[in-house]
Amino acid sequence: MAESSSTIAKPTIELGSKTVQELLLLAKGEQEVPEKYIYKVGAPDASSVQLKDIPVIDLGLLLTPSSTTQQLENFRSALTTWGCFQVINHGMTPEFLDEVREMTKQFFALPLEEKQKYLREVNDIQGYGNDMVISQQQTLDWTDRLYLSVYPQEARKLKLWPQNPQSLRGTLEQYSRKLQVVTKTVLVAMARSLNLDDNCFWEQYGEKGKMDVRFNLYPPCSRPDVVLGLKPHADGTIITLLLQDKQVEGLQFLKDDQWFRAPIVPEALLINVGDLAEILSNGIFKSPVHRVLTNPDKERISLAAFCLPELDKETEPFESLVNESTPKLYKKVKNYDRTYFDYYQQGRRPIEASKI
């Protein structure tokens, strides 16, 4: 728990009653959305949201001997202005990424009783279902998910790894191994872009660094004007790697107090820095606020991978980024993800409590 967050009361956590897919089955075509999903204040206004090109970074060129200072400067610019980028040439073929998307769709298309074999337990984040309800005042997200820890391997709860579709376990194993390679390359590039020791971000992640994956399903919603797939938030990670739906938009980023639609680049992974990278960089990198809108006609899937430091590792700004002209902006934090979820469901940012 972050040192500054002890004022937050321990929530009473209960299992959410029904998944969105269950609600839609029970509604049998009725259009009414349950009250607990509806935003009475701050409803999404998607009518004027523009599509904005997010920087595209060629990972194959970033750390090669022939890579130029300009390429690193472009990378740094993406992380200081947007806090995110689309990465191509990351070592995964478009065909393999399509396999990952397809297994995600196949899992959520299974009969309810099959998916319920992998239900998350009370007080546990891993498993199938919906997110934890920590307050009766909480506005719920219009999403179902399968959340699994993949690294370190001892954190895996294999009983929650679906055996159907049959390809899921093997494909996820392969995908997460490839993501680890991408993660190391990105973390080294982050260090170089700040003229730091190559391994400083990677060592913060650690050999026992935590990678969790979240398969997301956003079913069609009859009230996209008042219901969100995911509420506005920034990630409590070092970095997050996202595989977007190939056809259906929904992700939006907040930049300069304005929402922008994130374009779909089918062969790319969308990577954003999280709060912990903002803290480590002493505010140079920006952890972007983002949200997911719902669609009245089409379902949308995505697969997010969250990279966090190993358990009990402390995070604070790198010493070489702190001096008289740029003082330390953040307190030391530890096990940030434990506090993060409480803040998220309250629509608050835990990084605000970490600022000096």
Tens of pLDDT, residue by residue over 242-258, are: 999 999 999 999 999 99
Judge whether 80 and 90 are in contact, CB under 8 Å. no
- For residue 327, CA distances in Å to 37, 274, 314 come to 42, 21, 19
Q: What is the DSSP letter of 346?
A: T
pTM for the full predicted model: 0.92
Query: Mean pLDDT of residues grouped by 10 in the chain (356 residues)?
Result: 32 58 80 85 73 91 77 94 96 97 98 94 88 78 96 95 95 97 96 95 91 97 93 94 97 93 96 97 97 95 96 92 94 85 76 89
Domain limits, the chain: 49-308
Q: Which CATH superfamily is domain 49-308 in?
A: B-lactam Antibiotic, Isopenicillin N Synthase; Chain (2.60.120.330)
Assign 3-class secondary structure to 317-344: CCHHHCCCCCCCCECCEECHHHHHHHHH
AA letter at 79: L
Q: What is the dihedral of CA 226, 230, 233, 234, to 10 degrees?
A: -150
d(CA 193, CA 191): 5
Helices 69-77 & 168-193, crossing angle to 10 degrees? Answer: 110
Amino acid at 329: L
3 state SS of 40: coil
213-241 tens-digit pLDDT = 999 999 999 999 999 999 999 999 999 99
What does the alpha-carbon distance between residue 211 and residue 79 come to, in Å, rounded to a whole number?
A: 21
